[in-house]
């Protein structure tokens, strides 16, 4: 279950990621040596999932810091901030990326009189802490999530919020993996998740490998499996939760929530407290990443499926209105409406 999606190779001082664009066909690891490598790995979704990109960015900032000017603090910190902003611009929606980068930058700004080598050591410790905390947060989310379901229940999930997207258990898939350990069997329906197929390529892959009963469906089959009575709860991840509970997650998530509401199926968002952005008042304030038309028209097809001149709209995320969310399950507990109050209390 530990997918080793992001690791730091001590022998060469490089970040090593599992290239998720190659799954499920090939398990390939790539080294990230430059800021451009890191930007491209995140932008091209070689590493993806909100917590995983934060962890990757944190380790990368440490590795890149080793090659920054080591004599003058001013030169070092300017270069550090410039690189941090560049990497933060690779994907705008998941708040964990900026959150992790800002934690790393605080290490630099808090120690203006320390030798740079000392600061680099602290940066490594901070990156380790971010990863360690994510493992612990996922474990707690899994426990809280498991309390919401019972043996034999069917769970519908969208995109991938499992070990590949996080650390160890994952968030939305955490209760499923923890349930398996405890003899509580959950059956998962995985939306394939157009256009980049994270559900087909990653979720069904990691659940299958974990010995979980998983059934892959096309996104437009979710209504049918719900109508058939096969789904007792929806578990989805999140890229950013606004202060009022509105939640950005992979495109298509809000459609699942609307269906769940229609069929009276509880719809749960599971994510670490680091994904809750109290500085973002509502979903309308969440930046939504737009991606290339080629992902809709060509990617994964052996030949283009639309004319080159056909216009496409390809938002990578949508926002699920807080009114459709039964509860938000975090490492700090299960939060229910009114979210403006409950999420505020979570942070205090
Ligand atoms: O574009 P992706 O694959 O990075 O999108 C990922 C998702 O939407 C996940 O559901 C989200 O990041 C939560 S990961 C625990």
CATH assignment at residue 302: 3.40.50.10470
Average pLDDT of the residues in 164-183: 95
- Residue 293 confidence class, pLDDT cut points 50, 70, 90: very high
* Last residue in a domain, options 89, 117, 138: 138
Question: CB of 174 within 8 A of CB of 207?
Answer: no
71 Cα to the center of ligand 1, angstroms = 39
Beta partners for residue 188, in sequence order: 155, 214
State the closest ligand 1 atom to the C-alpha of 316, by its place in the atom list counted from 1: 1
Overall number of domains in the chain: 2
Residue 95 lies in a domain: yes
Range of the domain at 281: 149-347
The yes-or-no verdict on residue 57 having pLDDT over 70 is yes
* Last residue in a domain, options 138, 171, 203: 138
Half-sphere exposure of residue 5: CA atoms within 13 angstroms, side-chain side: 36
Question: CB of 200 within 8 A of CB of 156?
Answer: no
C-beta 270 within 6 A of ligand 1? no
Query: What pLDDT score does 4 carry?
Result: 87
C-beta 92 within 6 A of ligand 1? no
Residue minimizing CA distance to atom 6 of ligand 1: 49
The question of whether 239 is a catalytic residue gets the answer: yes
C-beta 249 within 6 A of ligand 1? yes
Residue 235 lies in a domain: yes
Reported as a single tens digit per residue, the pLDDT across 294-312 is 999 999 999 999 999 999 9
The yes-or-no verdict on residue 1 having pLDDT over 60 is no
Tokens representing residue 217 in the block: 């469906």
C-beta 275 within 6 A of ligand 1? no
Residue 1 lies in a domain: no
Give the CATH number, domain containing residue 126.
1.20.120.420
Separation CA 164–CA 340 (nearest Å): 30
* Last residue in a domain, options 81, 113, 138: 138
Please check whether residues 164 and 134 belong to one and the same domain: no
Please check whether residues 92 and 169 belong to one and the same domain: no
Residue 143 lies in a domain: no
Please check whether residues 331 and 212 belong to one and the same domain: yes
93 Cα to the center of ligand 1, angstroms = 10
Give kind and range of the element (H or E) at residue 85.
Answer: helix 73-88
Of these residues, 37, 191, 239, 246, which one is catalytic?
239
Residue located via tokens 């304030």 = 285
Please check whether residues 317 and 193 belong to one and the same domain: yes
pTM over 0.85: yes
Question: CB of 234 within 8 A of CB of 265?
Answer: yes
Reported as a single tens digit per residue, the pLDDT across 231-280 is 999 999 999 999 999 999 999 999 999 999 999 999 999 999 999 999 99
Please check whether residues 80 and 162 belong to one and the same domain: no
Average pLDDT value for the chain: 96
């Amino acid at each position: 279950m530990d997918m080793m999606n992001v690791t730091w190779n001590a022998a060469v001082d490089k970040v090593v990621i599992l290239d998720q664009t190659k799954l499920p066909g090939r398990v390939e690891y790539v080294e990230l040596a430059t800021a451009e490598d890191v930007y491209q790995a995140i932008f091209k979704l070689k590493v993806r999932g909100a917590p995983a990109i934060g962890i990757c960015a944190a380790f990368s900032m440490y590795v890149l810091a080793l090659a920054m000017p080591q004599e003058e603090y001013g030169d070092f910190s300017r270069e550090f901030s410039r690189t941090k902003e560049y990497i933060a611009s690779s994907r705008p929606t998941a708040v964990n990326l900026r959150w992790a980068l800002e934690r790393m930058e605080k290490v630099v700004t808090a120690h203006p009189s320390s030798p740079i080598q000392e600061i680099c050591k602290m940066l490594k410790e901070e990156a380790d802490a971010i990863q360690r905390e994510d493992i612990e947060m996922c474990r707690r989310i899994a426990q809280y999530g498991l309390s919401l379901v019972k043996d034999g229940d069917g769970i519908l999930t969208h995109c991938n919020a499992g070990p590949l997207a996080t650390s160890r258990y994952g968030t939305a898939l955490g209760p499923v993996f923890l349930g398996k350990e405890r003899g509580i069997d959950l059956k998962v329906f995985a939306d394939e998740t157009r256009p980049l197929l994270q559900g087909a390529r990653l979720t069904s892959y990691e659940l299958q490998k974990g010995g979980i009963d998983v059934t892959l469906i096309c996104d437009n089959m979710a209504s049918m499996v719900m109508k058939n009575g096969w789904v007792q709860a929806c578990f989805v991840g999140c890229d950013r939760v606004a202060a009022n509970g509105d939640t950005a997650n992979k495109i298509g998530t809000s459609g699942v929530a609307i269906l769940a509401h229609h069929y009276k199926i509880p719809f749960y968002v599971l994510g670490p407290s680091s994904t809750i952005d109290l500085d973002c008042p509502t979903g309308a304030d969440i930046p939504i990443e737009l991606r290339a038309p080629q992902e809709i028209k060509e990617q994964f097809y052996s030949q283009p499926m639309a004319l080159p001149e056909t216009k496409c709209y390809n938002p990578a995320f949508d926002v699920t209105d807080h009114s459709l969310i039964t509860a938000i399950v975090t490492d700090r507990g299960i939060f229910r409406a009114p979210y403006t109050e409950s999420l505020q209390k979570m942070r205090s």
